[in-house]
Amino acid sequence: MVEQELIRAAQSGDRDALITLLREIEQHVYRTAYYILNNEQDAMDAAQEALIRIYSKINSYEEKAQFKTWVQRIVTNICIDKFRRNKPSVSIEEHEMVFSDSQDVEGEVLSQYMAKDVREAINQLPEHHRTVIVLRYLQDFSYNEIADSLDLPLNTVKSYLYRARQQLQGLLQEYQKGGVSG
């Protein structure tokens, strides 16, 4: 994600290095906040708060952990706090469907419906399950990175992911039957 020299320069008081560092991570920070909070304004607020916290706490970062994991922990904690206050939900990025003559229109429409079902199912998960699903499948974090980011034991992360996948499977089966309304 970020060069170690840039981090060290930022920690030593190089303001330009710190600004460059924040610019390099701002999209990642926003994307994570958006996936967890499912609201553009809340995500922008959380991302700004996270960047300010990173700015003010850069000297507390130790190279024992990956910088990406340290940043993720800050963003996730801020989002969890906001989530507890506002109770929003996670969303998977939506993309506009663009049809061309060579595309399978029926397949595209079914794909959009499935994405909507998955999004609605994720929204119904408990907060801790939703967070690990977002970090694992939308941010592509390893189990260890999730554990470090959320300050949880590795086995707890594995358990949360297992239970979240089971819940998603059940919810998606209900959606396919038409039995659950969001």
According to the model, what pLDDT value does residue 113 have? 64
According to the model, what pLDDT value does residue 107 have? 58
According to the model, what pLDDT value does residue 36 have? 80
According to the model, what pLDDT value does residue 49 have? 94
The Cα 126–Cα 89 span in angstroms is 10
Q: Which residues in the chain come in under a pLDDT of 70?
A: 1-2, 83-115, 175-182
Asked whether the beta carbons of 33 and 46 are under 8 A apart, the reply is: yes
According to the model, what pLDDT value does residue 136 have? 87
Asked whether the beta carbons of 61 and 70 are under 8 A apart, the reply is: yes
- Sequence-ordered strand ranges (E) for 3-162: none
According to the model, what pLDDT value does residue 143 have? 92
